[in-house]
Structure 1
Amino acid sequence: MSDSTAPRSGLSRRRLLTGSAAVLGAAGVGAAAASAASRPDHHSPTVPFFGTHQAGVATAPQAHAQFLALDLRPGLGADEAMALLRLWTTDAARLTAGTPALADTEPELAHAPARLTVTVGFGPTFFDRVGRADRRPASVTPLPPLRIDRLEPRWSGGDLLLRVGSDDPVTLAHAVRVLGKNVRTLATLRWSQRGFRHAVGTHPSGQTMRNLMGHLDGTVNPAPGPDLDGLVWHDGTAQPWFAGGTTMVVRRIRMLLDTWDELDPDARDLTMGRRQDNGAPLTGTSEHDEPDFTRTREGIPIIPANAHIARAHARTPAERFLRQAYNYDDPPPPGRTSEAGLIFVAYQRDVVEQFLPVQRRLAEADALNTWTTPIGSAVFAIPPGVRSDDEYLGQTLFE
């Protein structure tokens, strides 16, 4: 895109990448609030971009999300990575406030953010690419091989992550396109996964979503506040630059819905350990009842030992983490009748201590493995948020 294509923004992409911090402050992030305030109220809610933590992690999940992994172009390093992060920071701050991005050629699509959030992450390889290998958090490394995995490179790995969420799919598509096209000279797309949850207004606020198998997904999660803080956010002890950040695992899980459909309701409930109709554990009556794995009927456990919740249940406080899931339903490849499943996301301080013990139990003996297969996997460090418009995402890594 040439400088001449951006008359409405007043600031070109080239000037942003080569200009000083003063350019960013004068015409970039700082303009977002004033511009948003000057527009009429369209009743489109916003999520604050600035803060100790990046938005999109503890934010209530939006109806739509897209996860994109990118790789820095060959030969590029720290200087180019910082330029990319400055650009993403500026554009994300504007878009999430309902203000067109710099050099936005479709500014009309930016005025209804619908709780838009943009979250940026660093893959294990990113730290090597930018000469900061010694600053990589210890658990930010590819997961070890698991017997149930059938991982495909097209859904795995990546130097950089973008997690973009919104309640409006048009807003989401616009934000993803803007954030992608403005860094084409610096990074290439490795994979993109788009997921969905229930549409806004179709279910009561805060209700647990259902996956495409029909079951509630995400019943057990830490509560906001101290509980969440202690499990998700890093305190910076091991890596001072990472204070306020977190670690993300993204797993793409294919579901064999055709054979799942053949199961009767009782078999489905025994596989999950929960009732499909209301999400209650088989030993309870409502969704949030604590399951009793010791309870038996005629000497037989009511919740089978290989039921999904029996294997996924945290056996120590350290095994808890924040779960976030999105359904996907893509066009099937030749020879398949469907290509559907779950984009499963976990946020935690330490992948090795919190996520891996649970994942290993699931791989060993989860009854649900007959109908689910992990086909993609990636781990990212989510750096802390930015507190003001003179900072950029990931800046502490480079200081």
Structure 2
Amino acid sequence: MTGKPSRRQLFGYAGAAAAGAAVTAAAAVALDDGQAAPPSASRTISPYGAHQAGVAAASPKFGELVAFRLLTETDKAALGRLLRLWSADVVALSNGRGAPGDVAPELAVGNAGFTATVGFGGRVFELAGPRPGGFDELPGMRHDRLQKEWTGGDLLVQVGADDAVSVVHAVRQFVRDARPFAAPVWRQSGFWNGTGADGQPVTGRNLFGQVDGTGNPRVGTPEFDATVWDADGGTTLVVRRIRMNLETWDELTRSEQERAVGRKLSTGAPLTGVNEHDELDLEARDADGRPLIAANAHARLSHHSENDGRRIFRKGLNYVHDAGTARESGLIFLSYQADVAGQFLPLLARLDAVDALNEWTTTIGSAVFAIPPGFRPGGWIGEKLIG
């Protein structure tokens, strides 16, 4: 991984609880390549640990993200009270119990793969101290068409579970607890299928039909740790709401779709391979001398070998948003990395410049959050920062 660029370089790229008792259920969730655990596995995920559990956990079947704006009167002490409340909520809901003050505790469902992740936007650090070294806002990109209702935020809560009711119920609780301190500014919900027809984990597909997330570093490996975690056990999260033009995408032939991506739609294998996880052969050419994986193919442009070894850990939720008879479809793209400017921004700038998929996608929302480390029994999220 290359060193973090200066702030001048950063903007240059744009031009090119107190918590409850300890968990007694086993935390036996499979964590590999961001894929779902088999249905037979325990789906109780411990809320405790060096890292917030939702980062490395599989993309949930159902998820919702809520960004908040801190109220004017919320100071550092008040923020600490909110984070203690939210930490208690995380512990209870992860274990299928009603949270403190829960008005509908029967809706808390156990063994549902529940996680809740809390993040901090830039304003938190105006109250609480210096920003983490890897946290930076993103400059606007040439193809961005950002809408205020999906952009920015001072705080984030990201909830995921196998059960949609659990997600809706948990979000109600987090929003209710936040009312004296912060107000929602946007909410995004979506879904993901990380389980194949045989019940085994699969990478999952976006609404273009693409297998999405094949190149991720494998959870639990040194490569994953170097990609995602900072020195304190936190990370950063970039949230990008990407509108997908399914109508014009569907007008393409299958070979045209595969050439834009650089992978086979059937299996997710690179156009130069057979199986999903085969390595891309970026030197391979067809009979006419053209690269089999086109110069502007998404798979080539995002590959770590084309980006000075930079990697991210990407996850996502498909979404549909209905307004009357009109339907918008797309992807809530989630990128975790230790360093936004050093890892994500150069990749984003490269894709923004020439990615073939730009013809069928438009980013309409964007936000960046620092994800603080996890917490232990008796502690709370953000304790080291807020104190």
SS in 2 for 1:331: strand
Q: Secondary structure of the equivalent of 1:74?
A: coil
Determine the C-alpha separation between the residues in 2 that align with 1:255 and 1:43: 34
Look up the match of 2:368: 379
Residue of structure 1 in register with 2:342 after alignment: 353
Residue 178 of structure 1 and its aligned partner are, at CA, apart by 1.0
- Once residues 353 and 132 of structure 2 are traced to their aligned partners in structure 1, the CA distance between those partners, rounded to angstroms, is 27
Amino acid at match of 1:209: G
Distance 2:42 2:272 in 1: 42
Match of 1:293 in 2: 282
Q: How many residues align?
A: 354
Distance change in 2, residues 1:97/1:274 (3 Å): same
Q: Which of 330, 334, 342 is residue 331 of structure 2 equivalent to? A: 342
1:228 to 212, 215, 224: 224
User: How many angstroms apart in 1 are the aligned matches of 2:279 and 2:196?
Assistant: 29
Report deviation, 1:255: 0.2
* Matched ranges for 1:306-321 at <5 A: 306-314=296-304, 315-316=306-307, 318-321=309-312
- State the Cα deviation string for residues 287-339 of structure 1 (Å, max 9, x = none): 111111111112111111011111111125641011101100110478xx421
Q: Following TM superposition, by how much is the alpha carbon of 1:138 offset from its aligned partner in structure 2, in angstroms?
A: 3.7
Query: Retained in 2: the 8 A contact 1:384–1:394?
Result: yes
**Aligned residues: CA RMSD:** 2.0
Mapped partners of 1:217, 1:142: distance in 2:
25
Distance 2:144 2:198 in 1: 34
1:219 lines up with 2:214 in the alignment: yes
8 Å Cα contact 1:123-1:140 kept in structure 2: no
Match of 2:59 in 1: 61
Match of 1:12 in 2: none
Q: Identify if the C-alpha distance between structure 1 residues 230 and 380 changes in structure 2 by more than 3 Å, giving closer, same or farther.
A: same
Which residues in structure 2 correspond to 1:1-399 (within 5 Å)? 24=17, 29-30=20-21, 45-128=43-126, 130-132=127-129, 135-198=130-193, 202=197, 204-224=199-219, 225-235=221-231, 243-297=232-286, 298-314=288-304, 315-316=306-307, 318-332=309-323, 337-388=326-377, 390-399=378-387
Q: Secondary structure at the match of 2:107?
A: helix
Once residues 371 and 324 of structure 2 are traced to their aligned partners in structure 1, the CA distance between those partners, rounded to angstroms, is 32
1:311 partner letter: L
Residue aligning to 1:18? none
Alignment partners' CA distance in 2, 1:71 and 1:53: 24
Distance in 1 separating the partners of 2:217 and 2:194 = 24
Letter in 2 for 1:162: V
2:52 touches 2:375 (CA, 8 Å); kept in 1? yes
Task: Determine if contact 2:150/2:186 at 8 Å carries over to the other structure.
Answer: yes
Q: The residue matched to 1:182 in structure 2 has which SS?
A: helix
1:63/1:200 contact within 8 Å kept: no
Instruction: Tell me the secondary structure at the aligned position of residue 79 of structure 1.
Output: helix
Q: Secondary structure at the match of 2:112?
A: coil
**C-alpha contact (below 8 Å) 1:246/1:382 kept by paired residues:** yes
Higher relative contact order (CA 8 A, sep 6+): 2
Q: Distance in 2 between matches of 1:370 and 1:290?
A: 26
Deviations 1:44-99 (A, max 9, x none): 72100011000100112211111110011112110110000000001110110111
**Distance in 1, Cα, partners of 2:82 & 2:161:** 22
Residue 11 (structure 2) aligns with: none
Residues 201 and 145 (structure 1), Cα distance of their counterparts in 2 relative to 1, 3 Å cut: closer
Give the distance between the partners of 1:333 and 1:65, measured in 2 at CA.
23
How many angstroms apart in 2 are the aligned matches of 1:69 and 1:370? 29
Q: Are the counterparts in 2 of residues 113 and 168 from structure 1 also a CA contact under 8 Å?
A: no
Q: Secondary structure at the match of 1:251?
A: strand
Equivalent position SS for 1:229:
helix
Give 2:135's aligned amino acid: V
Q: Within 2, Cα distance between the matches of 1:207 and 1:396?
A: 37
1:121–1:161: 8 Å Cα contact kept in structure 2?
A: yes
Distance (Å, rounded) in 1 between the aligned partners of 2:121 and 2:360: 29
Instruction: Give yes or no for contact 1:120–1:162 (8 Å, CA) kept in 2.
Output: yes
8 Å CA contact 1:167, 1:200 repeated in 2: no
Equivalent pair of 2:107/2:169 in contact (CA under 8 Å): yes
Counterpart residue number, 2:28: none
TM-score normalised over the length of structure 2: 0.87
Q: Secondary structure at the match of 1:355?
A: helix
Contact 1:67 1:161 in 2 (8 A): yes
Which residue identity lines up with residue 126 of structure 1 in the other structure?
Answer: V
Q: How far, CA to CA, are the matches of 2:247 and 2:277 in structure 1? A: 29
- Tell me how far 1:31 sits from its aligned partner: 8.0
